[in-house]
Amino acid sequence: MKRVVRIEVSGAVLTFPRLCACCGRPPDPELVVWASRTRGVKLVHSRTKTWTFPCCAECARHMNEWYDGSVALRAFLVAGACIAFVVLVAGGIAEALAVAAAAIALGYAARTIARRRAAALMSPQCACAWSPVQYLGWNGTLHAFFIAQHGYATAFVDANAHRDESTPAP
Ligand SMILES: [Zn+2]
Ligand SMILES: [Zn+2]
């Protein structure tokens, strides 16, 4: 996998270059990235911000496939834990362990199959199988992202670079 770059852009409204953030082809659907931030100890404030990056239909497909693998793994682990608990209460420690081990093995197998399918759907231009953009969070109007596609990272920084000079802060 290619190395991701950490970038920072500033602005209340960001400009997104109309390219797929994964492969650079013309985009169609959208890719939503988000970050949450919690503040305070006694009174906890939680805020979430989302940004929508352009993405093409082909890349949306391989990202969905990858995501489905993670969902399948979680489903197997949760179901396995529930069944193992019931078996354990019924008095079978060895049986409960066997159920848990089987659920873990099946879950990881399902995830591997989904990840292989995702990899098969990728084009040579694709930056990664999973989301090519991660939103790391914000500080005031400064937003930090990890971007796997170097071309998109450069275009994104350029598109948002001159805002500070043209629009003075209120
Ligand atoms: Zn794409
Ligand atoms: Zn892609």
Q: How far apart are CA 144 and CA 129, in angstroms?
A: 21
Return the axis-axis angle of helices 93-121 and 57-89, rounded to nearest 10°: 180
Q: Give residue 35 CA to ligand 2 midpoint distance, Å.
A: 22
Mean residue pLDDT across the chain: 88
Q: How far apart are CA 113 and CA 110, in angstroms?
A: 5
Q: Give residue 165 CA to ligand 2 midpoint distance, Å.
A: 34
At 46 the pLDDT is 84
| C-alpha distances in Å from residue 86, one per residue of 79, 81, 83 | 11, 9, 5
Residue with tokens 């169609």: 28
Cα-atom radius of gyration of the chain, to the nearest Å? 21
Which ligand sits nearest to residue 21's alpha carbon?
Answer: 1
- Are the C-beta atoms of residues 160 and 142 closer than 8 Å to each other? no
pLDDT digits (tens, 9 = 90+) for 11-68: 888 999 999 999 998 888 777 777 777 777 777 788 888 888 998 988 999 999 999 9
Q: Give residue 95 CA to ligand 1 midpoint distance, Å.
A: 46
Q: Give residue 119 CA to ligand 2 midpoint distance, Å.
A: 9
Task: Indicate the pLDDT class of residue 157, thresholds 50, 70 and 90.
Answer: very high
pTM here? 0.78
Q: Give residue 79 CA to ligand 1 midpoint distance, Å.
A: 34
Q: Give residue 15 CA to ligand 2 midpoint distance, Å.
A: 21
pLDDT at residue 4 above 60? yes
Q: How far apart are CA 107 and CA 146, in angstroms?
A: 28
Which ligand sits nearest to residue 29's alpha carbon?
Answer: 1
For residue 9, which of 136, 135, 161 has the smallest C-alpha distance?
161
The residue-averaged pLDDT of 87-106 equals 92
The residue-averaged pLDDT of 66-86 equals 95
Q: Give residue 115 CA to ligand 1 midpoint distance, Å.
A: 17
- Are the C-beta atoms of residues 31 and 55 closer than 8 Å to each other? yes
Residues of the chain with pLDDT > 90: what percent? 58
pLDDT digits (tens, 9 = 90+) for 100-138: 999 999 999 999 999 999 999 999 999 999 989 999 999
pLDDT at residue 164 above 60? no
Q: Kindly give, in sequence order, each residue whose CB lies less than 8 Å from that of residue 86, ignoring residues fewer than 6 positions away.
A: none
Q: Give residue 54 CA to ligand 2 midpoint distance, Å.
A: 12
pLDDT at residue 143 above 90? yes
At 165 the pLDDT is 52
